[in-house]
Amino acid sequence: TYILGIETSCDETAAAIVKNGREIVSNAVASQIDSHKRFGGVVPEIASRHHVEQITLVLEEAFNEAGMTWEQIDAIAVTEGPGLVGALLVGVNAAKALAFAKQKPLIGVHHIAGHIYANRFEQEFAFPLLALIVSGGHTELVLMHEHGSYELIGETRDDAAGEAYDKVARMLNLPYPGGPQIDRLAAEGCVSIDFPRAWLKDGSLDFSFSGVKSSVINTIHNATQRGETLKHADIAASFQASVVDVLTTKTWKAAQAYNVKQVLVAGGVSANQGLRQSLQNQFSNSGIPLLIPPLKLCTDNAAMIAAAGFVNYQQGKRSGWDMNANPALMLN
């Protein structure tokens, strides 16, 4: 079974062909990062326009790279939400038009299900499974008892992890996207500042990153007022230590509490070296296998959308012609 995946939820225009949900045949991604850099973040209107310009080119590339034709495609999977509505609409409309013209089943996919399924290219899932989702818009702990079923057991009460990284990066005058920049700086610094960790009450599996973010602002501000300069690398290392500590500890607790057979990490922040290292340390020798996607599959791509779409396809789930971009789509 070959699924064509399409992803346009944010600032990557992507198309990919995946075999049986686990084998990448082609994976084309056109990133818009350079166009958004000078604004310090993603500008929705610019994102939509770029998607319109890129979508057919990226689709062509996916077919060329695969050396395949439309006849060989069994279904079209597309990110239905969440994301920027104008950006999502480009992918959704392209998928609908193509599904109609080529007479292929249409499958709407939740973007975060896609991030989760980026892990299945490496290893088959074992249930119950715990997924730590850390991306630009989400920080969640999700329990899966079977393919395509998602139970939310923890989520952020304010900022997402990636959002916190990007905001702290901006305070340090680093270019967008800030996550990789902080990661790089952190490796050169010392954990010399004790930033707060939001554990929240009663063993909660929820997250909160607004406290550590404010603490970074205050620390920089106070140092400036005293005429001191803090090393940016030390701020980055200390901030990262706080975020990684909370993410690792809560993931570990949840894995124990639910007696899971596998833990996986998903979303752009799973590219973070500090987080990867810390989770590997925590789970090595624990008897619980840890799955982390290869770096190029951590951030947005369409292979992961095709992989998640394959599960829907197998389960007989199809979308109708009334499918619409849904910026607030729930994972369930």
Interface positions with ligand ATP (CB under 6 A): 9-10, 83, 111, 115, 135-138, 162, 165-166, 177-180, 183, 267-269, 271-272, 299-300
- Residue 172 C-beta-side C-alpha neighbours within 13 Å: 29
Q: How far is CA 222 from CA 218, 233, 316, in A?
A: 6, 17, 58
According to the binding rule CB under 5 A, does residue 163 interact with Mg ion? Answer: no
Can residue 166 be called a binding residue for Mg ion (CB under 5 A)?
A: no
Token digits for 279? Answer: 């989770």
Nearer to Mg ion, 87 or 246 (CB): 87
Q: Is 203 annotated as a binding residue?
A: no
Residues near 88 by beta carbon (within 8 Å), at least 6 away in sequence: 8, 9, 79, 80, 81, 325, 326, 327
- From ligand ATP, Mg ion, Fe ion, none, interface partner of 272 (C-beta below 5 to 8 A by class): ligand ATP
The secondary structure of residue 207, as a DSSP letter, is: B
Nearest CB to Mg ion, comparing residues 10 and 172: 10
Interhelix angle 273-283/232-257, nearest 10 degrees: 40
Strand partners, 266: 133
Structure tokens at 127: 């249930």
Site map (CB under 5 A) of Fe ion, residues 280-319, x = contact:
--------------------x-------------------
Q: What is the 8-class DSSP label of residue 175?
A: P
Binding status of residue 7 toward Mg ion by CB under 5 A: no
Interface region with Mg ion, contact rule CB under 5 A, candidates 17-25, 52-60, 77-85, 292-300? 292-300
Is the distance from CB of 271 to CB of 299 less than 8 angstroms? yes
Q: Cα–Cα distance between 73 and 104 in angstroms, integer?
A: 8
Closest approach, Cβ 267 to Fe ion, in A, equals: 6
Residue 292: CB minimum distance to Fe ion, A: 15
Instruction: Give the nearer residue to ligand ATP in terms of CB position, either 165 or 209.
Output: 165
Residue 317 Cβ, how far from Mg ion at the closest point, in Å?
A: 26
3-state helix, strand, coil in the chain (%, to 5): 45, 20, 35
Strand 151-155: give its sheet, edge to edge: 151-155, 139-144, 129-134, 262-266, 290-291
Is residue 135 near Fe ion by the rule CB under 5 A?
yes
For residue 300, state whether it binds Mg ion (rule: CB under 5 A).
yes
Binding site partner of 32, from Fe ion, ligand ATP, Mg ion, none, Cβ cut-off 5-8 A by kind:
none
Per rule CB under 5 A, count of chain residues that contact Fe ion:
2
Cβ proximity to Fe ion: between 140 and 300 the closer is 300
- Binding site for Fe cation, by residue number, is 111, 115, 300
Which positions lie near Fe ion, rule CB under 5 A? Answer: 135, 300
Q: Output the known binding site.
A: 111, 115, 133-137, 166, 179, 183, 272, 300
